């Protein structure tokens, strides 16, 4: 039987429709052809823009960060307001960086070691800390696309950072609801979710600082969340905590790979605003109380179609409780 479920965090409805799991669909994901000269592979560093940051071990890089060659926004642009009739527009100021996750062209989190994942997370932390220094940047959007169905245009493992001087309406509403929950309940919404899901059958794995679970109103088949117990942002995590997070990521992707094989996915890093402006001044000083860092992994097994675009709601054919059961068995 289908159900309409409410997503408490994202403030949206999702239809869980297991009957649609049996409709004919092509699950195989064609991969992008490997280029002869991959710009992200070792030895081809001159094919990228100038390096911003790297972690090197024994003289060889294990992660690199470069400006995106095909940037959506530019740090040298102005953020000037203008109009086009009744429409508003701003200059395209912002930061757009590429993290090259690993020197290994065909790697994934299930094939990387916990140490390699740690260096990847350490790189993200360092970039968050550095980009935060530019007070014009208000929100950092960190995401990883893997596979054609997830929007990847480059097969070598990489992650993107887009720093903007604005907060999207979606993000603004997420933080505002978190603030209102805190004012009403005296505790964080995410603390409550952590406590509730840690005792629920949707729990996949729990460590000292992190919980992996299948969201009650999962928008994607096999969607999973890694939720922090205590930290509002990755920038505040010690090396010890980052190593624990590395283990959680490794466990989750091992389980997903065993269940789904090589699959396309989006990996989204949910961060609070990094600087205060008029959009977030109401709750910015309460971020540590109202928000918890989390990673959302959304396998892209099925395509988004007309209903999703029209309603901004999803139809998910896989019951989250069944997802958790399948993945728990493989950790």
Q: Tokens 């919404």, residue?
A: 189
The packing angle between helices 114-131 and 239-260, to 10°, is 120
15 found inside a domain: no
Instruction: Give the percent of the chain with pLDDT over 70.
Output: 95
Are the CB atoms for 326 and 225 separated by under 8 Å?
no
pLDDT tens, 128-178? 999 999 999 999 999 999 999 999 989 999 999 999 999 999 999 999 999
Provide the residue count of the chain. 331
Which residue would you say has higher pLDDT here, 281 or 13?
A: 281
Q: Structure tokens of 27?
A: 């699950």
Q: Are 253 and 110 in contact (CB under 8 A)?
A: yes
In a domain, 222, yes or no: yes
Which domain, by its residues, includes 197? 32-328
Q: Ranked by mean pLDDT, which of 5-19, 189-203, 306-320 comes out on top?
A: 189-203
**What CATH number is associated with residue 129?**
3.30.428.10
Output the average pLDDT for the chain. Answer: 92
Alpha-carbon distance 189 to 218, whole Å?
Answer: 17
Looking at residue 104, its pLDDT comes to 97
Q: Could you tell me if 199 and 192 are in contact, meaning their C-beta atoms sit under 8 angstroms apart?
A: no
**Rounded to the nearest 5°, which phi and psi values hold at 244?**
-65, -40
236-261: average pLDDT: 97
Q: Is 19 a member of any domain?
A: no
Answer yes or no: is 98 within a domain: yes
In a domain, 272, yes or no: yes
| 165 within a domain of the structure (yes/no) | yes
> How many Å apart are CA 24 and CA 292, to the nearest integer?
39
Whether residue 209 is predicted with pLDDT greater than 80 in this model: the reply is yes
Q: What token pair was written down for 204?
A: 């996949």
pTM exceeding 0.85: yes
d(CA 296, CA 153): 21
Residue 148 falls inside a structural domain: yes
Cβ count within 10 A of residue 23: 9
Work out how many domains the chain is built from and give that number.
1
């Amino acid at each position: 039987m289908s159900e309409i479920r409410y997503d408490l965090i994202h403030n949206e409805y999702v239809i869980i429709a297991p009957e649609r799991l049996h409709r004919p669909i092509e699950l195989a994901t064609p991969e992008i052809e490997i280029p002869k000269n991959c710009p992200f592979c070792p030895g081809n560093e001159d094919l990228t823009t100038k390096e911003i940051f790297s972690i090197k071990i024994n003289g060889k890089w294990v992660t690199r960060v470069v400006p995106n060659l095909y940037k959506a926004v530019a740090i040298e642009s102005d953020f000037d307001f203008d109009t086009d009739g009744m429409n508003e527009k701003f200059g395209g100021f912002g930061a757009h960086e590429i993290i090259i996750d690993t020197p290994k062209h065909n790697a994934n989190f299930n094939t990387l070691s916990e140490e390699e994942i740690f260096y990847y997370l350490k790189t993200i932390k360092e970039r968050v800390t550095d980009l935060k220094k530019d007070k014009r940047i208000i929100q950092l959007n960190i995401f990883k696309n893997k596979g054609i169905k997830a929007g990847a245009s480059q097969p070598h493992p990489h992650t993107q950072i887009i720093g903007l001087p604005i907060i999207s309406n979606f993000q603004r509403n997420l933080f505002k609801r978190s603030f209102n929950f805190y004012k009403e309940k005296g505790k964080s919404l995410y603390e409550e979710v952590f406590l509730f899901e840690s005792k629920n059958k949707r729990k996949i794995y729990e460590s000292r600082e992190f919980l992996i679970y299948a969201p009650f109103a999962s928008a994607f088949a096999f969607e999973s969340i890694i939720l922090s117990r205590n930290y509002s942002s990755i920038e505040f995590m010690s090396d010890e905590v980052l190593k624990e997070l590395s283990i959680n990521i490794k466990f989750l992707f091992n389980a997903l790979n065993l269940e789904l094989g090589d699959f396309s996915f989006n990996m989204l890093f949910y961060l609070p605003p990094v600087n205060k402006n008029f959009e977030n001044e109401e709750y910015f000083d309460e971020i540590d109380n109202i928000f918890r860092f989390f990673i959302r992994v959304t396998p892209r097994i099925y395509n988004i179609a007309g209903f999703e675009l029209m309603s901004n709601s999803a139809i998910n054919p896989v019951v989250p409780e069944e997802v958790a059961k399948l993945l728990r068995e493989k950790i």
